[in-house]
Amino acid sequence: MASLSQITLPGAPSSEFGLLRRRFDRQIKTRIGFNGRVASVLTNAGEKAVVSVKSSVSQNVIEEEAKVLVGTYARAPVVISYGKGCKLFDAEGKEYLDCASGIAVNALGHGDPDWLQAVNEQAAALAHVSNLYYTIPQIELAKRLVASSFADRVFFCNSGTEANEAAIKFSRKFQRFTHPEDKDVATSFIAFTNSFHGRTMGALALTSKEQYRTPFEPIMPGVTFVEYGNIQAATELISSGKVAAVFVEPIQGEGGIYSATKEFLQSLRSACDASGSLLVFDEIQCGLGRSGKLWAYEAFGVTPDILTVAKPLAGGLPIGAVLVTEKVAGAISYGDHGSTFAGSPLVCSAAIAVLDKVSKPSFLSSVASKGRYFKEMLVKKLGGNTHVKEVRGEGLIIGVELDVPASSLVDACRESGLLILTAGKGNVVRIVPPLIISEEEIERAVEIISHNLTALD
């Protein structure tokens, strides 16, 4: 056994770990294989289980990945095999506290029982039929989204970037629909510095980082980037009458965890109303409870014409949604847009389970209070470090800005059992844990970050 690394997984009934044992063993042996070089999961008496795996497993996976996948991801050298709550375990059984949550996706953590029940029951009944037919889960999810927001109608897609692509198309169609006699209708767009709206060609054109856009030029023309928060510059450009829509994140995630001011968003709303431009809020990362409000726009008293949401909506399954007012929906006709996989019964059932939990006032209140506690702890433990410039964010979307690149701290924390992300220009630590994280787990996360600050030196 000297060649094996072991970890004890406490805190769950032995029956659950019996199921885990079979799933973990089957996953490693059948999907990873490697000639049977993986030991079986061992079960102790009572409420513990021991996972024992040869340390060569992860390295083998990494080597195999390099042979078969296109090299688009600079992955961390970790092979994740199992998750429960806010914890993840790698192929060697090492435990990690997950404060990345699949890039703000796993709002309910891993293995939420209500989510699992919804997915299992729907998978057994009906997974997919396309949008050629009606399905009940899709309609039920849309009804919930409409009831809980400003929107009158919903369009489903499969990701955040697809949601923004749909918003681009809807905005241009709206302008043509409302100005049928004009030969030169508004077709341009405004986005902002530090913005990130996706990686497909239209959404990429709205994304500010040049290194994302340059290799794929020419991309969609007609996008002007304005300084985030610059009321005068944005208002002047919108008033030209040539802007189909303004895309803005109420809280920027990838850009560095920057929150808009109420005055800024209200000025965009007023300028769009005066010019006939549409106002689009991208809440793909900051929406659906992460800010402590169900929708981030609620904190600003500003209602958009279009809102895009995706990441957390189905709790880990791929979904995107575009929420629109009736005036926008009225411009869209059959055939204007579509998707084969969008809004499938399986994914919508998962999303209903997520939305029903997250939208409860008590749940949202807990997110807000835990977010305040997280920031308070970070300021207390990190504030005296010379590399830490600011701790900011709303709810459980938190950024720690540094005066040096954050990657060394992120790597050190990972080695110590904490998963966090970078953002901004690489100098911001992004913390987006599952919304179910406990105060004890928050304290542990802060202790790990604090302990590893020396990596910045």
Q: What is the pLDDT along the chain (457 residues), one digit of tens a residue?
A: 333 333 333 334 444 544 554 555 555 444 444 333 333 333 333 333 334 444 578 999 999 999 999 999 999 999 999 999 999 999 999 999 999 999 999 999 999 999 999 999 999 999 999 999 999 999 999 999 999 999 999 999 999 999 999 999 999 999 999 999 888 999 999 999 999 999 999 999 999 999 999 999 999 999 999 999 999 999 999 999 999 999 999 999 999 999 999 999 999 999 999 999 999 999 999 999 999 999 999 999 999 999 999 999 999 999 999 999 999 999 999 999 999 999 999 999 999 999 999 999 999 999 999 999 999 999 999 999 999 999 999 999 999 999 999 999 999 999 999 999 999 999 999 999 999 999 999 999 999 999 999 999 9
Question: CA 127 to CA 162: how far, in whole Å?
Answer: 21
Q: What pLDDT sits at residue 292?
A: 98
Task: Assess whether the previous peptide bond of 312 is cis (omega < 30° from 0).
Answer: no
Q: What pLDDT sits at residue 56?
A: 78
Number of other CB atoms surrounding residue 439 within 10 Å = 13
Q: What pLDDT sits at residue 323?
A: 98
Amino acid letter at 346?
A: L
User: For the chain, what are the domain ranges?
Assistant: 1-57+81-90, 115-358
Q: What pLDDT sits at residue 280?
A: 98
Pairing of strands 251-252, 258-259: antiparallel
Q: The dihedral of CA 98, 99, 100, 102: what is its sign? A: positive
**CA neighbor of 424 nearest in space, from 453, 400, 443:** 400
Report the Cα 162 to chain-centroid distance in Å. Answer: 14
Q: What pLDDT sits at residue 5?
A: 34
**CA neighbor of 280 nearest in space, from 384, 380, 160, 182:** 160
Q: What pLDDT sits at residue 210?
A: 93
- Which residue's structure tokens are 């749940």? 363
Instruction: Measure the CA angle with vertex 334, ends 328 and 337; round to 5°.
Output: 70
Q: What pLDDT sits at residue 136?
A: 98
Q: Could you give the 3-state DSSP secondary structure of residue 236?
A: helix
Cα separations in angstroms, 353 against 105, 370, 435, 455: 14, 22, 14, 40
The predicted model scores a pTM of: 0.89
Q: What pLDDT sits at residue 46?
A: 36
**Strands of 418-419's sheet in order across:** 80-84, 87-90, 95-98, 418-419
Q: Are 190 and 226 in contact (CB under 8 A)?
A: yes
- Supply the DSSP string of 24-83, one letter for each residue: HHHIIIIII-TTT-SPPPEE-SSSEEEEEEETHHHHHHHHHHHHHS-S-----S--EEEE
Q: Are 220 and 202 in contact (CB under 8 A)?
A: yes
Instruction: Measure the CA angle with vertex 375, ends 370 and 376; round to 5°.
Output: 95
Q: What pLDDT sits at residue 39?
A: 35
**CA neighbor of 336 nearest in space, from 324, 344, 346, 347:** 324
Q: What pLDDT sits at residue 183?
A: 86
CATH architecture, range 115-358: 3-Layer(aba) Sandwich (3.40)
